[in-house]
Amino acid sequence: MAKLVALNNKQHQHLHIDTQLAEAEGADLHLVPVVLSEFMKLVVSYPIVFSKNGDTGEFMCSALMGLEEGENLFYEKGQWQSIYIPLQLARQPFFLGHDNQAVSADNSSSEQAQNLVMCINESHASVISQASTNTHSAPNHNETQEPLFNETGEATSYLQAQQNRLVQLLQGEQQTHDFIATLLDMQLITAIALEITLADGSSHKVNGLYSIDEEKLAQISDAQLILLKQKHYLSPIYTLIASTSHIYSLINKKNQRIEQGAKWFQAATL
């Protein structure tokens, strides 16, 4: 159960975060929510798609990590096999929350934004209190452990980076929401029908993924094109389209896993 509390340099001065355990949050996610401002980094590794939020049905942008629910083909042997980790995972175990006053007040959204404070999920597996690091941690484990505050109570560069990630996410969510609304309005989003035949001959249908309708994109009016340009959406649109071909590398990765599995079973049957 998540235990979210506002971060402060007294109560949390001696906490460390095991970044490897923090990132393990995404180990069994096949879709990770992403924001517009990280598209250029995502495109190096992942297919960027639209998917629907399970609770609200609303569209969101996601990096596709696997070909079925619970499968992350980029997470292997206890760590990420990828250059870039999406903000939504990299920022773990930190959140933006309202402080108590802000929540009780009947405030406008701008006030809400002002009242946001950095929170930590104290019960997250990556959170290590100093006492346990002193007694139990092996030296090699320390490499992935980051302190939050220095001796004088100032935020470490690690914590500052996490703050920046949270801010980028907050701004990115609004921007991504508008990006999707604009594309929906222009009817540029379309369902992808993915039917994949794997190395072992099994075929899979991947449902619930959407992308940009390139045919319709080629036919938008001049006025629509200008709007997309003014909103700076042309770059993310084409980045997203280009990223789709990474689906083939996902299939490759999946086939590799299957082959490894097959070897395992060959050995077992000898």
Partner 1 sequence: MSNSIKTVVVVGGGAAGWITAGRIAAQHNAKQGDIKVKLIESPNVPIIGVGEGTWPTMRNTLIQLGISETDFIRECDASFKQGAKFAKWVTGAEDDFYYHPLILPQGFTKGNIAPYWQMQKHQIGKSFSDAVCFQEALCEQGLAPKSIRTPEFSAIANYAYHLDAGKFAQLLQRQCTQVLGVEHILGDVINVKSAVNGDVAAVITQQQGSIEGDLFVDCSGFKSLLLGEHLGVPFKPCNDVLFIDNAIAVQVPYATDNAPIASHTISTGQNAGWIWDIGLQHRRGVGYVYSSHHSSEAAAMDALATYVGPQFKDLSVRHIPIQSGHRQQFWKNNVVAVGLAAGFLEPLEASALVLIELSAEMIAQQLPARREVMDIVAKRFNSTFLYRWDRIIDFLKLHYVLTQRTDSAFWQDNTDPASIPDSLNELMQLWRYHPPYDHDFTSNNEVFPAASYQYVLYGMGFESDLAPIQHTLTQTEFANTQFQLNQQNIAQVVAKLPSNRELLNKIREYGLQQL
**Which residues of the chain form contacts with partner 1 (CB under 8 A)?**
52-59, 184, 189-191, 208, 210
Residue reference for tokens 């029908």: 193
Contact 118/6 with Cβ under 8 angstroms?
yes
Of the pair 168, 190, the CB lying nearest partner 1 is at 190
Based on C-alpha coordinates, what's the Rg of the chain?
21
Which run of H or E residues covers position 37?
none
Q: Provide, rounded to whole angstroms, the least separation between the CB of residue 159 and partner 1.
A: 35
Residue count of the chain: 270
What is the nearest approach in angstroms of partner 1 to the Cβ of residue 45?
26
Comparison of 71 and 213: residue with beta carbon closer to partner 1: 213
CB nearer to partner 1: give 125 or 191. 191
What b/e sequence results for 8-47 when a residue is b if at least 16 CB atoms lie within 10 Å of its CB, and e otherwise?
A: eeeebeebbbbbebbbbbbbebbbbbbbbebbebbbebbb
Q: How many other C-beta atoms are found inside a 10 Å radius of the C-beta of residue 120?
A: 25
Alpha carbon distances (Å) from 93 to 71, 86, 103, 166: 21, 14, 21, 11
> What is the rounded distance in angstroms from the CA atom of residue 90 to the CA atom of residue 255?
27
Task: Return the amino acid letter for 264.
Answer: W
- Between 75 and 210, whose beta carbon lies closer to partner 1? 210
Considering the complex, state which of residue 24 and residue 49 has its C-beta at the smaller distance from partner 1: 49
- Quick one: CA torsion of 73, 43, 209, 193, rounded to 10 degrees? -90
- Shortest distance (Å) from residue 195 CB to partner 1: 19
Quick one: 13 or 182, whose CB is closer to partner 1? 182
Q: Which is nearer to partner 1, 80 or 210 (CB)?
A: 210
Write down the least CB distance from residue 204 to partner 1, Å. Answer: 16
The one-letter amino acid code at 85 reads I
Nearest distance in Å: CB 212, partner 1: 12
The answer to whether residues 45 and 74 touch, using CB atoms and an 8 Å cutoff, is yes
Q: How far apart are CA 91 and CA 95, in angstroms?
A: 8
Tokens 């990765």 -> residue: 253
CA–CA distance, 60 with 240 (Å, rounded to integer):
13
Please, what is the minimum distance in Å from the beta carbon of residue 258 to partner 1? 25
Question: CB of 187: closest distance to partner 1 in angstroms?
Answer: 8
Nearest to partner 1 of 53, 235 (CB atom):
53
Q: How far is the CB of 43 from partner 1 (least distance, A)?
A: 24
Token output for 129: 């209190």
